[in-house]
Homo-oligomer: A and B are copies of this chain.
Amino acid sequence: MEKITIGVVGALGAVGTCMIRCIEESGLPVSKLIPLDVHENEGKTLRYRGSDVSVREAGKGSFQGIDIALFSAGAQASRTLAPVAVEEGCTVIDNSSEWRMKGGVPLVVPEVNPEALRRHRGIIANPNCSTIQMLVALKPLHDAFRIKRIVVSTYQAVSGTGQKAVKELEDQARQFVADREITKSVYPHRILFNCLPQIDDFLDSGYTKEEMKMVNETRKILGDRDIRVCPTAVRVPVFRGHSESINIETEKPLPPPSEIRQILRKAPGVSVIDDIENKKYPMPVDCVGKGDTFVGRIRSDPTVENGLSLWVVADNLMKGAALNAVQIAELLCEKGLIKGET
């Protein structure tokens, strides 16, 4: 494969840092990595393959010579800079919510809808973390039994909010242990030893934007307008690793859980941990730094025709963000699709 120059926008953030680790460990034929970030971070250095690399300011002209840029600097940066990057000949893989639902922008989970990449016009969107792990786990079941409805409740880690939120939870833990007042600035309420049934802003419907991402992105990625998703997104005091309690109803009859496990064991990106006799099931602390989506607690739901419940955990910074973006970059390289279908 031809060597590429890769850029990472938001290189010093929680996801950006993880993206650089994922690039190092990937099979990407990288000749050069260019970390980009906001003006304030210009000149800071980060480690890449054993060397210090300086951060450049992201802006007009900074994407010249970059083949693929991974964006994770928030929706605002993606809105203004992704078109600039495309203009300068760069293909953008964007981790923000900015471009996900736009026409002509493929929204891709490599295990689920790699074919969507062919239609890109310079910007490819990385889905929401909660959506990615849900669909990696459910796609094989959707293919086999056609999922009609999903009821999902999430248990989401603070790193999904960013490094400031990670620090806030750490600080609150220190304050608790020192018996000091617990302060907050990132979340509207204390997160330590608490559950916040709000992620992102509320919409008039009573659902949050995070919840509607799970509804709308699922439909776009699966290419199925009829699939119904009812989500409840909840922030829990966990640093890293989103968990999801998922209940599905399928069109076709479901086999016993043992056969479901067999199907999932063969699925790409899925790791089944479902040995209840030995108290083994997926947990956030066990998934940190791993690329797979972990599935357990697989059991029939007798309260509905063709019902199944399962528990899905993944590292929200890895498969939920950085790794998925790097896997998209790998696919672009492998398939010769960096510049789109020629």
Contacts and interface: CB of A to CB of B under 8 A. Distances in A.
A261 to B, nearest CB: 11
A247 B234 contact: no
A258 B167 CA distance: 38
Interface in A128-153: 149, 151, 153
Given A243-B195, A276-B206, A284-B194, A304 B230 contact: yes
B155 A206 contact: no
A151 B206 contact: no
Given A173-B173, A284-B194, A296-B197, A245 B153 contact: yes
Interface in A238-284: 238-239, 243, 245, 247, 257, 276-277, 279, 281-284
A237 B193 contact: yes
Main secondary structure of the interface of A (DSSP, over half): mixed
Contact of A193 (B188, B285, B296, B307): B285
A309 B215 CA distance: 15
A196 interface: yes
A303 B205 CA distance: 13
Contacts of A169: 193
Contact of A281 (B155, B198, B245, B283): B198
Contacts of A304: 149, 228, 230
Interface residues of A, number: 56
A48 interface: no
A326 interface: no
Given A230-B304, A276-B202, A197 B243 contact: yes
Name which of A149, A189, A303 has the most chain B CB atoms within 10 A of its CB: A303
A155 B198 contact: no
A236 B240 CA distance: 14
A303 B228 contact: yes
A108 B237 CA distance: 33
Interface string A299-333: 11111100101010100000000000000000000
Given A194-B285, A197-B245, A230-B302, 20 more contacts: A149-B303, A155-B195, A173-B173, A188-B279, A189-B279, A193-B237, A194-B283, A194-B284, A195-B236, A195-B243, A195-B313, A197-B282, A198-B276, A206-B297, A228-B302, A228-B304, A229-B303, A230-B304, A234-B243, A236-B237
12 contacts: A149-B304, A151-B303, A153-B153, A169-B193, A189-B279, A197-B283, A197-B296, A202-B276, A205-B299, A206-B300, A230-B303, A236-B236
